[in-house]
Amino acid sequence: MHAVQFAAHGDRDVIEYAEVPDPEPGPGEVLVDVKAGALNHLDLWTRRGLPGIDLEMPHTPGSDAAGVVADVGTNVDRFDRGDRVAVAAGTSCGTCEFCRDGDPTLCPDFAIIGEHRPGVHAELAAVPAENLVPVPEGVDWTTAAAAPLVFGTAWRMLHTRADVTAGERVLVLGASGGVGHAAVQIAAHAGCEVFATASTAPKREHAADCGADHVIDYEATDFADRVRELTDGRGVDVVVDHVGAATYPDSLASLAKGGRLVTCGATTGPNPDAGLNRIFWNQLSVIGSTMATPGELDDVLELVWDGTFEPRIRETLPMSETAAAHRLLENREGFGKVAVIPDSER
């Protein structure tokens, strides 16, 4: 079979679409005939190299994929050959206090397929059965591949961690990205007044189409000032920020008294000034969030499968052109997710 791989960390030129041996499912694993995959910013960081993560090379990236069960290993009773499935990328030990309490995202051994272990951007992928979810008939493969990671992440951020309620004001930064466009849809569905930032007119139009009530050109104006103008000086109740150091000060400044900043990433850097004076005086909460529990993922995917939520696909490319897919993400081109299709499926 062929798989996306890199043998060393580096720029896009390290990416190959190489011929490799077909995997075989081990105990508790399912062999998936991959029909589509999708990229996340995590794929860029994994390719470049992350501190503290020592990957076995060559490494196959990819946390998002969907396809058909081709074979099952021993001790698998949830899936049979021919079943339609999508990948849920978070893995955990299953036995620690957090796993036993129903929140594997807090597991000390929590890891992500494609980041800490081999990924699924290949023609075939052996995946633990517990990391697969059923995909109903009628759901197209790119939707099934693109939805789980970003919609699960955004759902947990808003519903579990920030605990949004109808009528609250929610600001979503980077609304054109995977998590951002999912968060806009989820916040709107929850009955919130949604503010979204995006850099170009087409991106702002897409954000509005996803449910944003107010769209802000963050390159033309300070978004915190604009939020204050739009809310008569009050600010918003919740900020969804996965951008990091570049936006963190203005994210805090956008919050109303008692507001919550929820973050799942730090694309522009992990170490901004803490802003403790603003946090304690305005009694703000800064909340971390990572991925989603199986229950949270089931809840949000039900709404993807029935069409309530829609993963927007900015581009679909053959897997052999994964380097071009990385370029689209790095250059912030387009709105939504980038999908990749095994060349054998095209």
For tokens 């059923």, name the residue.
134
Tell me the CB-side half-sphere exposure of residue 80, using CA atoms within 13 A. Answer: 0
Tens digit of each residue's pLDDT, the chain (346 residues)? 999 999 999 999 999 999 999 999 999 999 999 999 999 999 999 999 988 899 999 999 999 999 999 999 999 999 999 999 999 999 999 999 999 999 999 999 999 999 999 999 999 999 999 999 999 999 999 999 999 999 999 999 999 999 999 999 999 999 999 999 999 999 999 999 999 999 999 999 999 999 999 999 999 999 999 999 999 999 999 999 999 999 999 999 999 999 999 999 888 888 899 999 999 999 999 999 999 999 999 999 999 999 999 999 999 999 999 999 999 999 988 999 999 999 999 8
The secondary structure element, H or E, covering residue 238 is strand 236-241
pLDDT of residue 15: 98
Would 2-149+292-345 and 162-288 be classified into the same CATH topology? Answer: yes
Task: Please enumerate, as own/partner, the contacts of 134-140 that have beta carbons within 8 Å and a separation of 24 or more.
Answer: 134/79, 134/83, 134/84, 134/85, 135/66, 135/84, 135/85, 135/86, 135/305, 136/84, 136/305, 137/84, 139/84, 139/304, 139/305
Dihedral, CA of residue 317, residue 318, residue 320 and residue 325, to nearest 10: 20
Domain ranges of the chain: 2-149+292-345, 162-288
Instruction: Classify 121 as helix, strand or coil.
Output: coil
Chain CA centroid to CA 145, Å:
11
What is the residue type of 170? V
CATH superfamily membership of 162-288: Medium-chain alcohol dehydrogenases, catalytic domain (3.90.180.10)
Instruction: Tell me which DSSP letter residue 131 carries.
Output: G
Tell me the CB-side half-sphere exposure of residue 86, using CA atoms within 13 A. Answer: 28
pLDDT of residue 333: 87
140 CB-near residues (< 8 Å, 6+ apart): none
Ramachandran region of residue 113, left (φ > 0), alpha (ψ -120 to 50) or beta? beta
Question: Residue 23: which of 2, 54, 6 has the closest Cα?
Answer: 2
- 317's tokens: 């490319």
pTM of the model: 0.96
Report the C-alpha gap between 207 and 198 in whole angstroms.
Answer: 8
Question: Residue 127: which of 73, 46, 56, 61 has the closest Cα?
Answer: 73
Report the C-alpha gap between 192 and 153 in whole angstroms.
Answer: 18
The secondary structure element, H or E, covering residue 299 is helix 294-305
pLDDT of residue 130: 96
160 CB-near residues (< 8 Å, 6+ apart): 289, 293, 296
Question: Residue 137: which of 345, 312, 342, 306 has the closest Cα?
Answer: 306
CATH of domain 2-149+292-345: 3.90.180.10
Report the C-alpha gap between 40 and 291 in whole angstroms.
Answer: 12
What is the residue type of 54? D
* Positive or negative torsion for Cα 94, 96, 99, 103: negative
Question: Residue 337: which of 318, 310, 304 has the closest Cα?
Answer: 310
